[in-house]
Amino acid sequence: MEAPARNAATVPSGPGGPTFGGFSTGSPLIGTVLDKYEILQKVGEGGMATVYRARHITLGREVAVKVLHPHLSSSQRNRQRFAREARAIEHLDHPNILRIYDYSGVDSEACFIVTEFIDGVTLQDVVRERGRIPSESAIIVVLQLIDALAYAHGTGIIHRDLKPENIMVRRDGFVKLTDFGIARFLEENQMTMTGALVGSPAYMSPEQAMEHPVDARSDLFSLGTVLFYLASGALPFTGSNPSVILRNIIEGNRPDLLETAPDASPLLSDVVERLLQTSPANRFQDARELEVALRACLAEVQVDPADERWVMHRLVAEPEAYEADLDAHLRAVLLERGRDLLTEGDHLAALRTLNRLLAMDPQNQEVLALVQGLHTQPIRLPRYRARFFAITALVAILGLAGVWWLGRTQESEGQRLDGEEAPRQESVEGGAPAFAGPAPAQATIEIPQPLPSSPVSAEGEAVAAVGPKPEAVRPVTSETEALPPPAIPSVPDELATVRVILDTPTWARIIIDGEERNLTGRDPVTVKPGRHLLRLENDFSIPYVESFEVAAGEHKEIKGIVLRPRPATVEVGDGVGPECLVDLDGTPLGSVAALGGAFSLPDPWSTHTVTYRCPGSPSVVHRLQRLSAGSVVRVPEEP
């Protein structure tokens, strides 16, 4: 694939020819000198700016000059914001982040930025040429981006506009992230001048779409969309217009990666699923946590990102040979792994592996035979387990017969009248206590809420929590509370049971595959064999999400789960300027402007110290005492 040289700051195509201050920002600039830069060639244009290849007239260095359109630069306030943002991001010094050399300043007639010039292609160019790229190649690209994001997030800078057009691959395979921080400057001008959202709506996070405060996890959501697009050639969130796209993002309406690309890595599909969770609390919490998961995806198929066979420059320079080599490698490794998993008895993992192989090669007779054998092979149980299932099946039959007999008896005695509630039956003969109706009111207790007292501000005064009103706590009967933990119920052979055990002294609603089933600490939940998505929720903790697999007849325990409190949000109060720097517990978070005027407290139940360091003023320290989970506090408080 031979693609023309592109500039790292290339912007999406759009209508051309806007004018600025009496001169055109289009091709007439070519051959002129803008400040100290000789304009050589126009390389891109869009709703935000026009981009040129240029040369510094004294240093002779090739650069890219991005001239903003009048829609953004005609306002003095926008110019000042742009200058402040340029100063903030020009200090980002990382090999995978496009270097900014210069900016025009607030008094220049033309508002522009100057960056390094990259000889390479965007990921959008690669996907447009190839349709999509192998999922392992997508992971190798994103691993370079993760290093850049971890560095930037550590300085308090959020990209806000991650998309394939802003990711460059140099001809030597080196990946560069571009337009860092520009979306922050443009955030308040959400609608572009050409009818599309600035910030590319298809890649926005739900919180960004709703104009809520964003943090590093917003970038990780966008990165999940990029991974989905690279591996499948399709976007997870689509619609006939930007409003529909944003609604689907907010509501989480999207397919699974494997539905769109069945030959993609199943482990990568799990990673993307977590990245694209609607709630930031359910995603990876930082870039390094994501890096560990992605490296595990590569390790499973024995792909080393440092291996010369898989480096990105081969995909750009010789894509057919690259993909052929990777395809042959994956077929060999996946077949061997599928056999090993079958030998170990891990049939569910083997099926996932072999299904991927069949998606790559539907006519592979060897794989078809393995899958056929997997579907017909009986599950061999130890003798004691076989006896256990025989006994539980007999108990189940007797129990069902007893319930049928009881119903017929009650019906014959006229106990179930029109609109009348049946009396509570204390026990079923030969079985555990059962209830034919709701428990009496006097037997109801409430589950205690594992919460601290009302939140307090830095000055010790109570602060009302902001957010949705908690749902009513579900009642349980006192008799049920007094019972010992329930025994594993008998279930038909084609089903399985799951018991969820928390390591924290709290409770949660058990939601499986989107359906609320029970509370923790109660009876196990019956499910069909296969792969399921578990979600644990209560009103004051971060929802916990985990996928699990069960076989027919299996009794599974999911234990060791610790629910964390929902983060509190600290809004920067009046009197703290956007140029002020914020420290949390002695760790720099970045400027108020870079943070968007707010930041989160992952552990609201601990004491924290917030320090504002403003130019020309002494530092101001605020101490935050124990806050409510999910609360919002303003520091300093409004007078």
- For all residues of the chain together, what is the average pLDDT? 74
Question: In the CATH hierarchy, which top-level class contains the domain 19-118?
Answer: alpha beta
pLDDT of residue 81: 65
Share of the chain above pLDDT 70, in %: 72
DSSP letters, 599-621, are: EEES-TTS-EEEEEE-TTS--EE
DSSP letters, 54-112, are: EEETTT--EEEEEEEPHHHHSSHHHHHHHHHHHHHHTT---TTBPPEEEE--TT-SS-E
pLDDT score of 442 more than 50: no
CA distance 69 to 357: 50
Question: How many C-beta atoms surround the C-beta of residue 565 within 10 A?
Answer: 24
DSSP assigned state of 419: T
Label each residue of 575-598 as H, E or C.
CCCCCCEEEECCEEEEEHHHHCCE
Pairing of strands 112-116, 100-103: antiparallel
Taking residues 621-625, what's their average pLDDT?
A: 89
What is the tens place of the pLDDT at every residue in 489-518? 555 668 999 999 988 777 889 999 888 898
Domain covering 484-564: architecture: Sandwich (2.60)
pLDDT of residue 170: 87
What is the tens place of the pLDDT at every residue in 88-131? 677 788 899 988 888 887 777 778 889 889 888 889 988 988 88
- For residue 488, which of 436, 552, 429, 556 has the smallest C-alpha distance? 556
DSSP bridge pairs for 168: 122, 176
Question: In the CATH hierarchy, which top-level class contains the domain 568-635?
Answer: mainly beta
pLDDT score of 406 more than 90: no
3-state helix, strand, coil in the chain (%, to 5): 35, 20, 45
What is the tens place of the pLDDT at every residue in 199-255? 578 999 999 888 888 889 999 999 999 999 999 999 999 888 888 899 999 999 999
pLDDT of residue 159: 87
> Going by C-beta distance under 8 Å and a sequence separation of 6 or more, which residues neighbour residue 351?
371, 374
Q: Nearest 5°: phi and psi at 340?
A: -60, -40
pLDDT band at 376 (very low <50, low <70, confident <90, very high): low
Angle between helices 347-360 and 365-376 (to 10 degrees): 150
pLDDT of residue 466: 32
Share of the chain above pLDDT 90, in %: 28
Residue with more model confidence, 565 or 114: 114
Residue 211 falls in which region: left (phi positive, over 0), alpha (psi -120 to 50) or beta: left
pLDDT score of 582 more than 60: yes
- Determine the distance from the C-alpha atom of residue 542 to the mean position of all C-alpha atoms in its chain, rounded to a whole number: 14
pLDDT score of 321 more than 80: yes
Taking residues 621-631, what's their average pLDDT?
A: 85
Q: By the 8 A CB rule, do 19 and 73 touch?
A: no
pLDDT of residue 423: 36
Domain covering 122-300: architecture: Orthogonal Bundle (1.10)
pLDDT score of 271 more than 90: yes
pLDDT of residue 179: 78
The DSSP H or E segment spanning 259 is helix 257-260
Q: By the 8 A CB rule, do 49 and 12 touch?
A: no
Taking residues 571-590, what's their average pLDDT?
A: 87
Angle between helices 266-275 and 216-232 (to 10 degrees): 140
pLDDT of residue 48: 67
- For residue 265, which of 299, 290, 234, 292 has the smallest C-alpha distance? 299
What is the tens place of the pLDDT at every residue in 346-374? 888 888 888 899 889 888 888 888 877 76
What is the tens place of the pLDDT at every residue in 380-391? 433 333 443 344
pLDDT of residue 612: 93
Alpha-carbon dihedral 556, 562, 563, 564, rounded to 10 degrees: -160
Pairing of strands 568-572, 632-635: parallel
Three-state secondary structure call for residue 365: helix
Q: By the 8 A CB rule, do 113 and 72 touch?
A: no
Tell me, what amino acid is at 229? Y
pLDDT of residue 140: 95
DSSP letters, 468-527, are: PPPPPPPEEEHHHHHSPPPPPPP--TT-EEEEEEESSSS--EEEETTEEEEETTSPPEEE
Please measure the distance between the N-terminal and C-terminal CA atoms of the chain and give it in whole angstroms.
Answer: 62
